[in-house]
Structure formats: C-alpha cells, structure tokens
Amino acid sequence: MTQLANNAPLTCEGLARSFGGVKAVQGVSLALPAGAVTALVGPNGAGKTTVFNLITGNLKADEGTAQIRGRPIIGLKPWQVARLGVARSFQDLRLFTQMNVRDNVLAATERGAWFWQGGDRRARLAAAEAAMEATGLTALAEARAVDLAYAERKFLSMARILAAGADIWLLDEPASGLDLSSRLRFGQLLRDARARGVAICLIEHNLDVVVDLADRIAFLDRGLVLAEGAPREIMTDPKLAAIYFGDRSHEAAA
C-alpha cells in the first residue's frame, strides 16, 4: 500500500459515511496508482458510488481523509476537486440532454464560469474534436444528447471525461449494458488512457470486463474493503465469490 501510494495521485484513508442507520461506507482506504486501472467491485448497495461521492465532495464524509498529490481534498466543493484533476462519470450519466454532442464535449473543456473563458480556445476545440473522434461520436456532433442511442450516450459520457483532460478518472459503471463490440472499443479507450498515465478507478459489475481491464481489484461489501490485490487473487477467493454471487442470486430470487 505505501509503495503504491508513492505513485498514487489519489489516496484516501478511513472514509466513512452513514445515512441514518445505514453505514454505506465504513472506513475505506484506497490508493489509485497512475497508469493503472483499479476496479471497485462489490454487490449492489456495497457503497461503491458513495465512495466516489465522498472523494469528489458530492457527499460530506463523516470520517476519513483523502489527498490528491498530497493535498487534502475533504471539505472541498466538487468543482474544486475537479480542478485538481479528477474527472468522474455518473451511473445515470447526467448528460447535458438538450445540448448537442459537440457542446456537451466542449463544455467539458471549459471550467470558467465568467462571461468568457481564459486560455487557448483553439486547444479546447481541438481537445473536444479529439475526444469525439476517440469515442466514435464525430458523425453525431450535431445530434442532441437526448436523441442518442444507449451506447452512444455511454460514449458521450466518456468523451466528456476525455475532453476534461484530467489525470484521475472515477468511472461509475461506464461499460454496463454495452454490447461486445462497444465494450471492446471502451476497453481500448481505457488502455490508451492508462498508457498515458491516467489513474483510473472503475466500478464494474461485469467480471469479464474487470478481468480484462483491471490491474488491481478492491472488493467492497457493506461499506468495507474486504480485499484488495491482483485480479487473480481476488477472483479466485471462494469467500469473495460467495459474497458476490450469493448476494446476486439472493437478489434474483427476491
């Protein structure tokens, strides 16, 4: 952990958060190394999304600390955390529905809230075009987000992340519901980013995707990290498999 943390732009220690009586997250410690995909897996309601929300400042942590390159970020507002280099996706996407694809992506390159943006406008346009190209959305640039097909929406959410130019990505089930060919394209996006040194945290239920892409896995259950390590160790642990699939069959029966 310490050895990883040296190379980890984002670390958190003992994050905890309850909702009324529900201990959604109880003491989660993580380090996201640069140039690696860390998969956050666990049954429904394990607290995965809540961990993201605590890191990004969308939720207040009851306890715990988090740092970006050594800088404490607990208590910062979401936009401040974003400006430290964190880009996140949402489980429910939250696209700018009435805007077209290009504006969705351009908006991701513009941080200023003032009447005009500082900086290099051409560079922003180029970043947006590149992000659309990489996600296969160039031909749909003028289409409104709300009119896109399911997979296209997922890729638009990824295009915003690409365009934001962040080096820490928190992705909440970005590949869920994608067909095989889309999943392969998505995998390539992630590999390219990893090669550029982006620290990626990937919440994913599909274990094929996890095995394919993850360098490390953190297994979360009822707000606790039960295990953390190389995919081989985690995937072959019968105890974890029982929790993971046990909860699922239980759920299916309900």
Partner 1 sequence: MIAYFSNLATLVAIFGILAVTLNFMVGFAGIFSVAHAVFFGLGAYAGAQIALTVTPNPFLACAVAAGIAGVLSLCLALPALRVRGEYFVAASLGLQMVALTLFSEVKSLTGGIGGLTNIPRPQVFDVEVGVLPLALLALGVLLWAIHAMANGSFGRTLKAIRDAESAAEALGKPVAVAKALAVAFACAGAGVAGALFALHMSFVNVESFTLDQSVLVMAMVIVGGTGTLFGPLVGAVLLLSLPSALSFLTFIPPTEVGSVQQIIYGLAMTLLMVFRPAGLLGDQNKGKSHA
Ligand X SMILES: Nc1ncnc2c1ncn2[C@@H]1O[C@H](COP(=O)(O)OP(=O)(O)OP(=O)(O)O)[C@@H](O)[C@H]1O
Residue number with CB closer to partner 1 (3 or 115): 115
- Cβ 90 vs Cβ 171: under 8 Å: no
What's the closest the beta carbon of residue 158 comes to partner 1, in angstroms? Answer: 13
- Cβ 168 vs Cβ 176: under 8 Å: no
What's the closest the beta carbon of residue 207 comes to ligand X, in angstroms? Answer: 14
| Per-residue tokens: 125 | 């346009």
> Interface with partner 1 by CB under 8 A: which residues?
56, 58, 77-79, 82-83, 87-88, 90, 94-99, 103-104, 106-108, 110-117, 144, 146, 160, 164
Q: Which of the listed partners (Mg ion, partner 1, ligand X, none) does 236 bind, with a CB threshold of 5 to 8 Å by partner kind?
A: none
Nearest to residue 51, comparing CAs of 91, 85, 20, 21?
A: 91
**What does the per-residue mask of binding to ligand X show for 196-235, with x meaning CB under 6 A?**
----------------------------------------
Task: Please pick, from the candidates 46, 132, 156, 217, the single residue that binds ligand X as defined by CB under 6 A.
Answer: 46
**Hey, which residues between 40 and 79 contact Mg ion (CB under 5 A)?**
49
The size of the interface with ligand X (CB under 6 A), counted in residues, is 12
Torsion sign over Cα 176, 89, 87, 168: negative
| Per-residue tokens: 20 | 């009324």
For position 44 contacting ligand X by CB under 6 A, the verdict is yes
- Cβ 160 vs Cβ 46: under 8 Å: no
What's the closest the beta carbon of residue 42 comes to ligand X, in angstroms? Answer: 6
Consecutive H or E run containing 134: helix 121-134
- Cβ 134 vs Cβ 1: under 8 Å: no
Q: How far apart are CA 35 and CA 208, in angstroms?
A: 21
Piece in contact with ligand X (CB under 6 A), picked from 16-24, 95-103, 143-151, 236-244 = 16-24
Q: Which of the listed partners (partner 1, ligand X, Mg ion, none) does 45 bind, with a CB threshold of 5 to 8 Å by partner kind?
A: ligand X
- Cβ 61 vs Cβ 107: under 8 Å: no
Residue number with CB closer to partner 1 (108 or 218): 108
For position 91 contacting ligand X by CB under 6 A, the verdict is yes
Task: Please pick, from the candidates 47, 85, 174, 231, the single residue that binds ligand X as defined by CB under 6 A.
Answer: 47
| Per-residue tokens: 157 | 């959410």
What value, to the nearest 5°, has the Cα angle with vertex 43 and ends 42 and 45? Answer: 105
Residue with token string 């606790």: 224
> Count of H helices and E strands in the chain?
10, 10
Taking residue 244's Cβ as centre, other Cβ atoms within 10 Å add up to 21
Residue number with CB closer to ligand X (59 or 235): 59
Q: Which of the listed partners (partner 1, Mg ion, ligand X, none) does 19 bind, with a CB threshold of 5 to 8 Å by partner kind?
A: ligand X
Contact set with ligand X (CB under 6 A): 19, 22, 24, 42, 44-50, 91
Binding site for Mg ion (CB under 5 A): 49, 91
